Amino acid sequence: MATMKISTPFTPHWHPSLSQGLKRLGLALAGASTVMLQLGSLPALAGDPFRTSNPRNSISAPTEEAFYAIFRDGDYVTAKASLEAADAAATDPLHHAMLASLAYLEGEAGLPELLNRAQLTQAAAEGLMATDPLRGNLYGAVGIFLEGAHVLQTQGIARGTPRALGMLQEVFDKMDAAEDIDANDPELSLIKGFMDLLLAVNLPFANPEDAITRLATHGRPDYIAQRGIAVGYRDLGEYDKALEAVNAALAAVDAAKAGENTNPDLLQLKAQILWGLGNAQGSEAAYTEALGYVDQLPQATAARLIFDRCVVQGHPGSTCAREAGYN
């Protein structure tokens, strides 16, 4: 594994410049699929994990299965197998967006596939325009956003920012077109809420409370919406509110799965928040619980969990880097 310099288990990343904020926003969305989505407290109809009425039939059963595996269960191994098995017949842009996120998690080796899937997301979104323009515009925006993340990763800030800024305007235009159709659509609200929140905590001209309200009011599924709220409050340093939100997300997962296991991504987030609150013992316990799911996590996520728990336990960063396999 490549050497990585990491000194603390979690440090909020503050980026005062527009280009730095855009980079974090793009990479955060790419790394979390096109937006960290998850199931709500109301039962979604088969084939559509977002809506409790008027479900979209464009979301296939394998895509739905992979969606739940990633965002409800934190099981990336099952998700990837489901998506790859259905790849030849896939027509839904969400399918390609999730594969883009999995490619991103592979680091530099996954960048060609990230670009490929970003472009396939856009092509699949265009295919929906005649029958479902809301999702067509929405995932057109997502695909462009993912491609912008690839630009920033491969070209760097200095070269990539001008192009990324132009692409960001295209994202906003397509989001606006989707919002004109139904501003309260759960899938749109979830994705736009995440994008707006990530912008708000990284750029000086946006209001995070508006994004949080959108996620809380219209975002579905609930455990993804609450996860986004927790991330936002964490990055704003409002750890008490972040803890409340991540506990709500964990409760929604528990309800959806009838108490069967939980979500290691949410446990990792809770551990970070507890560390921010100065609760090292609680943070260590949450990291340890998350590591119980290591077999279903990407290698990079597992390594980060190992490193973070080691630092929380009070060991030097150099020791923890060796334990995690960073050098």
Q: What is the CATH number of the domain that holds 118?
A: 1.25.40.10
Which pLDDT score, from 0 to 100, does residue 45 have? Answer: 36
Mean pLDDT of the 231-256 span: 93
Quick check: helix, strand or coil at residue 279? coil
In 10 A of CB 47, how many CB atoms? 15
pTM: 0.81
Please, which pLDDT band fits residue 61 given cuts at 50, 70 and 90? confident
Residue 7 is assigned to a structural domain of this protein: no
Given a cut of 60, whether residue 17 has pLDDT beyond it is no
Residue 189 is assigned to a structural domain of this protein: yes
Domain residue limits at 95: 18-324
Q: Which residue has tokens 């005062």?
A: 16
pLDDT digits over 269-322, tens only? 999 999 999 999 999 999 999 999 999 999 989 999 999 999 999 999 999 999
Tokens of 101: 């996120």
Residue 125 is assigned to a structural domain of this protein: yes
Which pLDDT score, from 0 to 100, does residue 202 have? Answer: 67
Residue 76 is assigned to a structural domain of this protein: yes
Please, which pLDDT band fits residue 54 given cuts at 50, 70 and 90? confident
Rg (CA), the chain: 19
Instruction: Report residue 283 CA to chain centroid gap.
Output: 21
- Average of per-residue pLDDT values in the chain: 82
Residue 4 is assigned to a structural domain of this protein: no
In 10 A of CB 14, how many CB atoms? 12
Residue 48 is assigned to a structural domain of this protein: yes
Point out the least confidently predicted range of 133-142, 158-167, 194-203, 257-266. 194-203
Residue 11 is assigned to a structural domain of this protein: no
Structurally, the chain folds into a number of domains equal to 1
Residue 184 is assigned to a structural domain of this protein: yes
Given a cut of 60, whether residue 6 has pLDDT beyond it is no
